Amino acid sequence: MNKIGFLNALGAFVFWGFLPIYWKLVSDVPAIETLAHRVVWSFVLLIIILSVTQNFEWIRPALKDRRKLILTLVASVMLSINWGLYIWAVNVGEILSASLGYYINPLLSVLIGVLFFGERMRTAQQIAIGVAACGVAWLTWSYGQLPWIGLALAFSFALYGALKKMAVLGSLEGLTLETAGVFLPALGYMIYLALNGSGNFGFAEPFTSIVLIGTGLATAIPLLMFAGAAQRIPLSMVGMMQYIAPTIQLLIGIFIYNEPFPIERQLGFALIWIALILFTAEGLWQQRRMVTVSAGIK
């Protein structure tokens, strides 16, 4: 196992797990304003990184490819919806609902692969998705409403992943083009708030402005670590480690911000965890089987 790749993956998922604490630092700032800052400062930081690495040769082909450009623009909308909803959920005390979305996301990605890419769903995957659906149904019945925050986060991120797969761009290059797609609306909204004196940047205490600028770093750091990990360790290991982030979020919601986690909600989450254990175990078994078959052929 590549130690640097493992540490990069661990760092990325732990960083994402603790991200709710960062958003809580600007909980008085409307989520849409925080989102605008995240887009603008992320784009600025990514341009700086590309300038340092002299990595601009991909831009011209990407801009000439109309299909790739449209896919990336739609992906940027999905990403913005996901980011904005997540920030809002954290700030209104729905960290547990947000963590649910990222537990469900891998299962939805499989479903999207079946529906849009003609992939086949294995029996164990079907059972896992069925168990997760039972968990969502239980949460809906016990609370009297659909867990829409978690589902919206899961769907928006799964669709974002599907669009990125079709666009075929590296993580750094893709995120740069995606933030570029919504940069001008985000910057325009920030300027509008500044001219009206209704924004927080530059008007609230300096700490708030610093945290808003730091949203660029909070976005880029884990992404770069994740990119470094994906190049060095097997994707199966990355897949297993991705549950670190929502688990940390869940614990933060319960033990730091005292969000309610009654037995009814625990049962719903338990069904989804069972689905993920089955899903992950089947994936590992399938990969080991393929390696064994490949070794036998050689």
Residue 1 has pLDDT above 60, yes or no: no
- Confidence category of residue 63, pLDDT binned at 50, 70, 90: confident
User: Cα 73–75–81 angle (5° rounding)?
Assistant: 110
* Amino acid 275: pLDDT: 93
Mean pLDDT value across residues 204-217: 93
Of the pLDDT bands very low, low, confident and very high (cuts 50, 70, 90), residue 97 is very high
pLDDT band at 293 (very low <50, low <70, confident <90, very high): low
- Two tokens, residue 235: 């994707």
With bands split at pLDDT 50, 70 and 90, how would you rate the model's confidence at 235?
low
High-pLDDT (> 90) share of the chain, %: 54
pLDDT of residue 165: 78
* Length in residues, the chain: 298
How far apart, in whole angstroms, are the C-alpha atoms of residue 270 and residue 139?
Answer: 11
What was the pLDDT predicted at 269?
Answer: 96
| Prediction pTM value | 0.90
pLDDT tens digit sequence for 165-202: 787 777 788 888 999 999 999 999 999 999 998 888 88
Q: Is 118 left (phi over 0), alpha (psi -120 to 50) or beta?
A: left
Spans of all domains in the chain: 3-120+147-261
The mean per-residue pLDDT over the stretch 113-117 comes to: 82
